[in-house]
Amino acid sequence: MGDPRYFSVRGGANPHTRDRFGMKKRVDPELARRQWHEMARALLEYGAEVVVIDAHPRLSGLVYPANAGFLCPLSNRAAGASGTAPDSVKRFYLSHLLPTRAAEREVYRWFVGGLGYETSEVKARFEGEADFFPAGDYMLFTYGRMEAQRFVPRLGFPPWHRVYGFRSERGALEELSAIARERPILALELVLETHYHGDTALCSFGPRRRFLLAYLEALSPASRERLKEAFGENLIALSEQDAARYAANAFQVEREGKLFLFVPQGLSISLLERIRGCGVEPVAVDVSEFMAKGGGSVKCMILDLGPVDEQPLSPAAQVFRAQHSYRSYPF
């Protein structure tokens, strides 16, 4: 997770960061810090390990590290290894971020390197596990139309509209296919700028992540059909109300053999019951300041580095991890 000390709206690069007049919103820093720490402590309580990426005054987007890149494979066990495989099995692939966040990449390179991972770079425009993540037998890759962010005139009030576009381009698919190798990739096109990353509209969860929360209206018609065909009865379609609260921007943890799904506060009772029906207990956390001002909720605030027992074991990596552990981090 990224230290929230300097969380603010700087680039204003998604529809949630600006008001109806296009003005960037102002963050309540005290509220944001309180919500961030409450979520971090809850993750610890439910068996996760939290390490903290250092804050940088000019890089407020570090509070959303899901965009940093992705670890492949996420779990050695998922790759077919028995027990813990050598560290060399895993590699971290750094994103090619939006220009307003491009400077974050060197921070992420340093951080995951300190944790003991080798790094590579994705060359095409691509924003990490926010748009590329496992779901059942697949890797889901979400992309959308790349646009120059700008204001354009329109009829109405105000007499302009801001174009935001999406974050990952379809051209990244060739690189990702080479990385995923035998695991099939399901490529899905995003069409709603309010759901500019795949992890704002889709969430895999449950054993082997075989269940999928999906806001189908955020996808092109052809992508909706591919998703329905691939997941069948394991697909849970989200209502417009739950999707607006970023129900899909959720994160699963395991404690003592039980699965828990961290979800944003305020979801419908019916959706929470459907999640329970999949054998997973939802845990609601309030991250409303990050959602309302930055356009990122629970999952956006987390970079998943896999099971604790599969982390690199070199002495230097262990020292770095201890120094950046939430339990000892000097906030």
Residues counted in the chain? 331
**Distance of alpha carbon 185 from alpha carbon 194, whole angstroms:** 24
Q: Are the C-beta atoms of residues 298 and 262 closer than 8 Å to each other? A: yes
**pLDDT tens digits in sequence order for the chain, 331 residues long:** 999 999 999 888 899 999 988 899 999 999 999 999 999 999 999 999 999 999 999 999 999 999 999 999 887 655 444 344 444 468 999 999 999 899 999 999 999 999 999 999 999 999 999 999 999 999 999 999 999 889 999 898 988 889 899 999 999 999 999 999 889 999 999 999 999 999 999 999 999 999 999 999 999 999 999 999 999 999 999 999 999 999 999 999 999 999 999 999 999 999 999 999 999 999 999 999 999 999 999 999 999 998 888 999 999 999 999 999 999 998 8
Q: Are the C-beta atoms of residues 242 and 267 closer than 8 Å to each other? A: yes
Question: Considering the domain 4-323 in this protein, what is its CATH number?
Answer: 3.75.10.20
**Distance of alpha carbon 177 from alpha carbon 301, whole angstroms:** 26
Residue 68 backbone zone (phi > 0: left; psi -120 to 50: alpha; other: beta):
alpha
Strand partners, 230: none
**Distance of alpha carbon 29 from alpha carbon 48, whole angstroms:** 25
Helices first, then strands: H and E counts in the chain: 8, 14
Residue 151, helix vs strand vs coil: strand
DSSP per residue over 76-134, as a string?
TTTTT-SSPPPGGG-EEEE-B--GGGTTHHHHHHHHHHHTT--EEE--SSB-GGGSEEE
Tokens of 194: 């309010």
Query: How high is the pLDDT of residue 85?
Result: 44
**Distance of alpha carbon 54 from alpha carbon 111, whole angstroms:** 9
**Distance of alpha carbon 279 from alpha carbon 41, whole angstroms:** 24
**Distance of alpha carbon 103 from alpha carbon 2, whole angstroms:** 15
Domain ranges of the chain: 4-323
The dihedral over CA atoms of 82, 181, 188, 16, expressed in degrees to the nearest 10, equals: 70
Predicted TM-score (pTM) of the model is: 0.94
Phi, psi of 141 (to 5 degrees): -125, 120
**Distance of alpha carbon 133 from alpha carbon 65, whole angstroms:** 14
Strand partners, 201: none
Q: Are the C-beta atoms of residues 184 and 138 closer than 8 Å to each other? A: yes
Query: How high is the pLDDT of residue 77?
Result: 57
